[in-house]
Amino acid sequence: MAPLTTRAGSLLRACPRQRIPALCSAVTSAQRRTKADIVQRTGGEYERTPQFDSPFRDEDSTPTTKIPSFAKYMSKKPESSNKVFQYFMVGSMGLLTAAGAKATVQDFLVNMSASADVLAQAKVEIDLKAIPEGKNVIIKWRGKPVFIRHRTEDEIKEAEDTKWESLRDPQPDSDRVKKPEWLIMLGVCTHLGCVPIGESGDFGGWFCPCHGSHYDISGRARKGPAPLNLEVPAYSFPEDETVVIG
Ligand code: FES
C-alpha cells in the first residue's frame, strides 16, 4: 500500500511540471492569433480591427431609443430678447439673495451684541454738584459699589503727605486721582470682597468689618489682611461737574 501512495504523490507533483510548458505554448499561440486578428500592417501603419461582432447588433432593426421633440417648448422670440429676460432674472435673483444674506447677517450681529440694559450699565454718569465737600456717595456700577469721595483740603494734604513708598501696595495719591478733590474707587475690599465702611478706621478712610482691614483717605491698604489698595475704575470728567464711570 505504501509504494502505491508514494507513486501517486510523485505523479501528482510531476503533473503540473509537465503541463506548464504545454500551457505556455498554448498561451503564446493564442497571443499570436489575437495580435494577428487585432492588428494588420498596412503600408507601415497599424490599424485596429474589431475583435468580434456583437451578437446583439442588428443593422436592419429599427432603433429602440426615441428622442422626443422639444420644438413646441422653444421660444419663438429672437435670441436677444431671450437673453435680456435671462439677464434680468439672474440679476433679480442675485439681488434678492444678497438682500436675504444681509438681513441674516444683520440679525445675527444684533442678537450677539450687548442688550440695552447691559449697555446702560457699561457707563454711569454722575452729577458731582450734588456731592458736598467731605461727603461720600456710593453708586452701583456693573453690579459693584463705587465710592465717590469729595475730599477736603486737609484730606488731600494728608493723602499726599503720606510716605507711600513704605506701604504694602505702594502708590502715590497722584496716581489714584485725576482731580485731587475727587477720589473714585470700587467699594470692594481687596481681601475677600466685603464692602468697607466709609469715614471709619484708624486712618480716617474706610474700614472693612469682615476681617479688620483699614484703608486711608486715598483708599490705600494700611492695616489688616487686605493685600492691595482699593481699585480705581476707569472714569473721566467730560465736564467740570460731571464724571462718567466706565
Ligand atoms: S474682606 Fe475685608 S478684611 Fe476681609
Dihedrals φ, ψ of 236, to 5°?
-150, 165
CA 127 to ligand 1 centroid distance, Å? 30
152 neighbors 134 (Cβ within 8 angstroms):
yes
Express each pLDDT in 104-127 by its tens digit: 999 999 888 877 777 767 888 999
Residue 184 corresponds to which cell in the numbers above?
A: 473714585
Residue 182 corresponds to which cell in the numbers above?
A: 475727587
Q: What length is written for the chain?
A: 246
- Which residues are catalytically annotated? 211
CA-nearest residue, atom 3 of ligand 1:
211
Helices (H) and strands (E) in the chain, counts: 4, 12
CA 210 to ligand 1 centroid distance, Å? 5
Q: Which of 7, 51, 46, 14 is nearest to 33 (CA)?
A: 51
| Stated pTM of the model | 0.56
Distance from C-alpha of 213 to C-alpha of 202, rounded to nearest angstrom: 10
Q: Is 15 strand, coil or helix? A: helix
Testing ligand 1's pocket by substitution, the residue of 191, 200, 214, 231 carrying the most ligand atoms inside 8 A of its CB is 191
Express each pLDDT in 62-85 by its tens digit: 767 788 888 888 888 888 888 898
pLDDT value at residue 38: 47
CA-nearest residue, atom 1 of ligand 1:
192
The answer for residues whose C-beta is within 8 angstroms of residue 120's C-beta and 6 or more apart is none
DSSP 99-140: HHHHHHHHHHHHHHSPPHHHHHHH-EEEEGGGS-TT-EEEEE
H-helix or E-strand containing 41? strand 39-42
Distance from C-alpha of 87 to C-alpha of 239, rounded to nearest angstrom: 59
Distance from C-alpha of 129 to C-alpha of 149, rounded to nearest angstrom: 12
Express each pLDDT in 176-193 by its tens digit: 999 999 999 999 999 999
Closest atom, ligand 1, to C-alpha of 224:
3
Which residues does ligand 1 sit against, CB inside 6 Å? 189, 191-194, 208, 210-211, 213, 224-226
> Which residue matches cell numbers 505554448?
25
CA 192 to ligand 1 centroid distance, Å? 5
DSSP 72-98: GGS--S-HHHHHHHHHHHHHHHHHHHH
Lowest mean pLDDT among 16-30, 81-95, 135-149: 16-30
CA-nearest residue, atom 4 of ligand 1:
211
Q: Which of 151, 243, 163 is nearest to 205 (CA)?
A: 151
Categorize the per-residue pLDDT at 214 as very low, low, confident or very high, splitting at 50, 70 and 90.
Answer: very high
Closest atom, ligand 1, to C-alpha of 226:
3
CA 230 to ligand 1 centroid distance, Å? 11
